[in-house]
Chains A and B, each alone.
Chain A
Amino acid sequence: MFESFADLTAFQLLGLDPHSRLGAAVQFFLMDVTKIFALLVVVIYAMGLLRAMLSPERVREFVRGRPDWQARGMAVTLGAVTPFCSCSSVPLFIGFVEAGIPLGVTFSFLIASPMINEVAAVILVGVLGWELAALYVAAGLVVAWIGGIAMQTFRPERWVEDYVWKIRMGQVAKVESDNSLRARHRYAVAEVREIVGRIWKWVLLGIGVGALFHGFVPASWVADHLGGGAWYTVPGAVLLGVPLYANATGIIPVAEAMLAKGVAVGTTLALMMSVAALSLPEMLILRKVIRWQALALFAAVLAVAFTLVGWGFNLIV
């Protein structure tokens, strides 16, 4: 449906040549803009209606006071299903520390949360197919699990700012919610506006980059330089992703264009994870609660993990 709309608009209405670079780029852009934004609205609305999104307050209650492996399992799973705005990461961090949740578990949550969320998962299925979506989600869960453990071995407690330990949280506020269908509908609409309003720039940017790649990068160049999955392409992709930041949904169209041109799966996944989970603004926000040593370590652990995952997939696939 989206494809035929894009074909019609790009080739009939605008009269572009399907075999030209511009034609291919415009067709890709139109197809992904309509498809991804339609999916975004539908998925976010549906989840808002079901109130499927968990608040950090509830995550904290689920995770606290459990043995380490259980707490980590929950943190990773809940991180994956909790959309979270980076402006909440400081109160979230402090809330977890205050509840006595081990720092390694908190880091597992902080890794899983931006990298995986249900909205991105559904769009991944819609754009790249379920196999790749499953690979991405599985890789993300494993990295979050192991990344948290790796952080723990460096005893990151010594780098937490002193004031964090002194904060005492009040009784967690239980805000009662109106559960009528009308209230749910209103909540769902508000969620759509809030989330789409926050991420549309990233998504549009991602689609633009994907379209340029699709239209203007020749497949033969990709085959020569990136296709074989040479070992250095994976750390290269990770390093490229560190300064770049987009949310998990925004990077999907870029991955789509890369895969279609024959970039190796592991290399593409490494770039996706690096762009989604390692971001400079996020790091700077966390600097309020942990010192830069811990941040540098966090970035290094993730970079190594993404590289290993990328190599792994390039070997297997």
Chain B
Amino acid sequence: MKNIKVLGSGCRNCEITANAIAQAAREAGAEIELEKVTDIAEIMSFGVMSTPGVVVNGEVVHSGGIPGPDLVRGWVCD
């Protein structure tokens, strides 16, 4: 099961990103573990300064702005 983290201190774009990932996973029927990381120290520990950031299985795949739908689908599927 994939572990996906959304990094962001709770701004609106971070919410939108997290929801988009959850929805894409439902649509693809993929099981994922979705986590929201709001602690600033933990966000920074991934080397991300522009939020929202997205981490899939420990690897940063996106930072800054809302990701496009194709990207999101790519993360939840294999």
Q: Which residues of A come within 8 Å of B, CB atoms?
A: 55-57, 60, 84-85, 87-88, 90-92, 94-95, 98, 163, 166-173, 175, 186-187, 190-191, 194, 288
Contact = CB atoms under 8 A, between A and B. Distances in A.
B interface bracket (residues with beta carbon within 8 Å of A): 20 to 34
Interface string B58-78: 001111111010000000000
Interface string B1-16: 0000000110101000
A212 B65 CA distance: 35
Contacts of A175: 60-63
B76 to A, nearest CB: 17
Contact of A163 (B13, B41, B66): B41
Nearest to A288: B40
A91 B47 contact: no
Contacts of B62: 175
A91 B51 CA distance: 8
A109 to B, nearest CB: 12
Given A87-B11, A175-B63, A190-B68, A94 B44 contact: yes
B40 A173 contact: no
Contacts of B65: 190-191, 194
Tell me whether chain B's interface is mostly helix, strand or loop, or mixed. loop
A170 B68 contact: no
Interface of B: 8-9, 11, 13, 40-41, 43-51, 53, 60-66, 68
Nearest to A56: B49
A90 B45 contact: no
Given A87-B11, A95-B49, A167 B66 contact: no
A200 to B, nearest CB: 15
Contacts of B40: 90-91, 94, 167, 288
B60 A91 contact: no
Given A98-B44, A175-B61, A175-B63, A90 B9 contact: yes
B63 A57 contact: yes
Nearest to A195: B65
A90 B11 CA distance: 12
Given A90-B9, A92-B50, A173-B53, 19 more contacts: A56-B64, A57-B48, A57-B49, A88-B49, A88-B50, A91-B9, A91-B48, A94-B40, A168-B44, A168-B45, A170-B44, A170-B45, A170-B46, A171-B47, A175-B60, A186-B68, A187-B68, A190-B65, A194-B66
Contacts of B68: 186-187, 190
Contact of B50 (A55, A170, A187): A55
A229 B45 CA distance: 51
Contact of B44 (A95, A186, A194, A288): A95
